[in-house]
Amino acid sequence: MQASLLIKNAEIIFPDEGRVNKGSLAVAEGKIYLVENLPDIQADTVIDASGLFVSPGFIDHHCHVFYGGTGIGFLPDTGSFPLGCTALADAGSVGASNFKAFYNDIVIHSRTKIFTYLNVASAGQVNEHSPEYANPQFFDKSVIKDLFGKYKQIRGLKLRFDKACVKDLGLKALEEAKQLACDFKVPLVVHVANHPDRIADIVSLLDKGDVVCHIYQNLCEGILDEGGKILKEVKAARERGVLFDSADGYRNNSFSIIKKAFAEGFLPDIISTDLTCEKLYTNRGYGLIYTMSKYLAAGMSLENVIKAVTVAPFSCLGIHDLGIIKSGAAADICIFKLDDAGDFVFKDYAGEQIQASKIIRPLVTIAGGDIVFADFEMIVQDRIRK
C-alpha cells in the first residue's frame, strides 16, 4: 500500500469503543487505514509514535471564533491545531443577521473545520459586556430556516438563558427557543449560568440531543440540591438523553461543584472550554488541553476524557464520520503524550485548587491527512522522517 503518512507503534485510542491498543495506522488520500503488516506500507513520511498516544483530532465544542466580527472571537487556526483540535464549534457568537459574514470571513478561510450553534438572538453574542436580547418576538424564523437549508455548518441553536439576555421573559424565552429547535429538528444548546429559573424547570423542557452547558457553575442554582447531591430532575434529563457540557470558561466552573458531582459519578458528556480571545493561551483557560488535563486531575479516565472531546461532541453535532479511528475515516488525528505535572495545580475563579496529575501535550496534529502542527520535540528526537 502506498501511503502519504505512516504512524507506527502508537497507543491508539478508540473512543467509540473505550479501548486503547498498540498499533500502527497509515494515511492515504486523506483517510485512515489501520495497519497490521508494516512491511506492506510504503509511506512518504513516517512518524515513530512509540510511547505516544494517537486519537482522533479533538473538537472544542463550545468556543467563540468570530474573529473581527465580535469582541470575543479568536482566529480558529491559532486556537486549534497547536491544541490537538481539528474542529471547533462556535457556540452562539452569530445569529441570523451575521452568520453569512461569519461564513465568508471565517469559515471558508479556516483550515480548521468550523461548526456553529446559531444564536436565536439575531445579532449573536457580540462581547462580554453587551448581552444579546433573546426575545422570541424578534426570532427571525424565516431567515433561520433559510440558513439551515443552505449551510451544513449550522448544526443547532443556542440560547443564553441568562438574566441579562432574557430579562423578565423567564421560561417563555426557553420554551420558544425549544419550539424553534423542534421545528427544525436540531439540538438546542442552553447556557445556564446566571439563569432566571429553577434548573429542574429548565432541564424538564429539554429532550434527547439537547445540551446543557456550564454544568459545574456556582454563580446561581446549579445541578446540585441543597444537600449537595445531583438533582433528581438532572438525573432524569440525562437518562432521557439530554447532554451535559462542561463549557468551563473561567467563572463558569467550580471545583467544589465538580468534586461533589464526580462523587456521584456525574461526569461531563462533553468537555469544552467556552474559550475567547481574552482567555486563549492564558492561565484563565489556555485552551482545550488545559481543560482536558483538569478533568484528568479531577478523576476522569484518559479514555473518558478523549471520548468527551471526540466521538461524543461530534455525535451531538450529528456528525458520525469524525471523532473516530477506523479504516476509511477522515484522517483528522492528534498524537500526544502525558507529561508529568510536577507541582502544577489548577485553580478556579474562587481560588479552589485541584492538584494536577498528568498534562496532555499534543505533539502532532493531522488534518485531512496533512501535518498541520508538529512540536519541535518530534524533530529533535528524530521521530518524523521523510
Domain boundaries, the chain: 2-55+327-385, 58-316
CATH number of the structural domain 2-55+327-385 = 2.30.40.10
Residue 37 has what pLDDT? 81
Query: What is the spatial distance between Cα 99 and Cα 307, in angstroms, rounded to a whole number?
Result: 29
Residue 128 has what pLDDT? 84
58-316 folds as TIM Barrel (3.20.20)
pLDDT lower than 70: segments of the chain: none
Helices of type H across 44-98:
none
Amino acid at 352: E
Residue 318 has what pLDDT? 98
Q: What is the pTM of this model?
A: 0.97
Kindly list the distances between the CA atom of residue 53 and the CA atoms of 23, 260, 306, in Å, as whole numbers in the listed order. 10, 30, 11
Amino acid at 41: I
Longest Cα–Cα distance of the chain, Å, equals 68
Query: What is the spatial distance between Cα 222 and Cα 303, in angstroms, rounded to a whole number?
Result: 27
Amino acid at 293: S
Among residues 326, 375, 331, 358, which one has the least CA distance to residue 13? Answer: 326
Buried b (16+ CB within 10 A) or exposed e, 67-96: bebbbbbbbbbbbbbbbbbbbbbbbbbbbb
Query: How would you class 2 by CB atoms within 10 Å of its CB: exposed for 0-12, middle for 13-18, buried for 19 or more?
Result: exposed
Q: Are strands 53-56 and 154-160 parallel, antiparallel or unpaired?
A: unpaired
| Nine cell digits for residue 92 | 452562539
Mind listing the pLDDT tens digit for each residue in 36-73? 888 889 999 999 999 999 999 999 999 999 999 999 99
Q: Are domains 2-55+327-385 and 58-316 of this chain identical in fold? A: no
Residue 36 has what pLDDT? 85
Residue 38 has what pLDDT? 81
Question: Is 178 within 8 Å of 212 (Cβ atoms)?
Answer: no
Kindly list the distances between the CA atom of residue 29 and the CA atoms of 45, 212, 372, in Å, as whole numbers in the listed order. 14, 38, 16
Question: Is 386 within 8 Å of 377 (Cβ atoms)?
Answer: no
Which residue carries 461533589 as its cell?
A: 260
Which residue carries 512509540 as its cell?
A: 50
Residue 351 has what pLDDT? 94
Kindly list the distances between the CA atom of residue 333 and the CA atoms of 13, 32, 290, in Å, as whole numbers in the listed order. 11, 9, 18
Query: What is the spatial distance between Cα 98 and Cα 264, in angstroms, rounded to a whole number?
Result: 42
Residue 261 has what pLDDT? 98
**N- to C-terminal Cα distance for the chain?**
17
